[in-house]
Structure 1
């Protein structure tokens, strides 16, 4: 587990970081110990305001681009390509306090520690908070980093709408975070992201740090069955075209085929919208989503093909019309060997128990990895719990992870 200090004496101020963390998570706090700060909400705006205030207090040059990505730059001795550090501060609805936040506030603590110690680096260091990483209000997820890296078009991103029909671009204007700067990737030396694991691997092995070698690829599908609404009482069972029955068959089939399709293949039906959604009416339409992931891109492709066939077969058995489309596809990412080795060496310097691993969750690092050398640091999620108010990481592990980020950043910023 985490140690009380690093082997060379250089360490972050864990008490200062904790004060910041606690103060930050008062914004959008829920009664059950989580936070509710979905992208471009009023609470998310207040969180952005607090972050910008702290970045400026730390002497960083703050800029905001037209996607609302927030950057704070610490100058280097040379005008070289910077080392970029960060994550996100938007949350799930009633999500956890650690997800994304430890990466942003940890990055700020890194630059403040370097200032405290009077350490100058050759390369500038930038702290970033990406917009709409979670994707719970505006889909797809990782929208800010996606536009920055060229994965998405700016107009496409600004036209995304939430369930109430509010446009992303309009909401940026409303909260005052449509910046003047273009959302175009800079010349970056590398990108490093600290994040909670969001799975059980580290906690189950009593390890403090994961040195992330890569991230699962995934496919998101949106599917729909259209049957016929009718009265639940007098309609005989053999005359029904029940869209929910067909959906249930696909849900069970997805569970079976992903459970047997590979060591790391996972599949989830996470959203189901039933209409007319009445107790005494046969469901006429059902729209639902599927999420399929693996570190093996071929396994994802094969699973998606099979699920699409299962949708077709279920529709034919029930006599329902069906449609399915892939709304998001991200290939598995293998991170830069040198960044991974630098993070591993930093973990040795800090003296934390660590392991190389891959991530089952997507992160902004996925897209940054397409344009520059990238690495990630994980700290444990107790019980493997994340995206809920029960999310928790021991504070000693948070500090240990930020210490690893500090040493990896210093190494890369001196190159």
Structure 2
């Protein structure tokens, strides 16, 4: 396992209690854990977080688990039982941050809402990720990332014109919400440093998507224009598209004024590069079909590698469309430690994504593998003040 050069990380000393499952809450906790936070993940006895069983499994456990739960401790608690909820309260009293992504109201029904927990721990920061947020007319609706992507405006644009909108290919709505949640937590920590007071960070999945939708709303507000799907093109910015080669596709972004001239020279179309009507983006957008046709005619006669080498020499941004194999074999990924090996509890060595972002003085790292279910229950409960006899009784009654 690759360890960080800084054993601590910038978030050393922060205690995080993770009550979420699957993607949104756990991804936020994973990000904090990567940078040194002590994350205690609460899972139901027996099955644990459903992500343990998602996608491809090795010996019954998802290899995705090795990414999402690295650097965390696993404690099993049956939150349906009062004794388990009392343990959560004890752990929350010592925590800096609590992360949950249940449907609004669930934590309150358990007696674990922010108002209750902050009475004994006023500095507690609670990150709450849900489909529609903690307030509003939709708050009680079940909300998953795919629905949020649709409501946030993204799904309408991920299509070829006139064809069915498709998903991005990963759970982007959940991940965007997680990252917004981490930003909110860090801002709340800054506020607590000055005031000593915690607060709630309320992140709605659809709002996290909506926050990344660029000019979508102001264009409608100012001009009544509804942005429509454009396939691989970048509407209103030209040229920027995917172009066919003999053996695949390349993405070319020649939409800067000087870049466009270099691109046209590289493909032997100085007539377009020197055309005064195409000197700015406005003119190029008006003739984008002509420009795309010229680029496509040049790329079709060449292989992907030849195209990329020619455009790199011309200082034109371009790239191939990577598969997992391309990523695993790319030297740049390796040089920047974006691919790291970890060893699972049962001996499998698997490569996982590296740590993002890169900090020069206090980098994050992988300090421990993802835990097996309940691996840290006894140790964490002993730290919380429970005796071995009490822990044994809780296990006998199925609380842990």
- TM-score, normalized by the shorter chain, greater than 0.5: no
Q: Larger relative CO (CA 8 A, sep 6+): 1 or 2?
A: 1
Q: Which structure has the bigger radius of gyration?
A: 2
Q: Which has the higher strand share?
A: 1
* TM-score with structure 2 setting the length: 0.27
* TM-score with structure 1 setting the length: 0.26
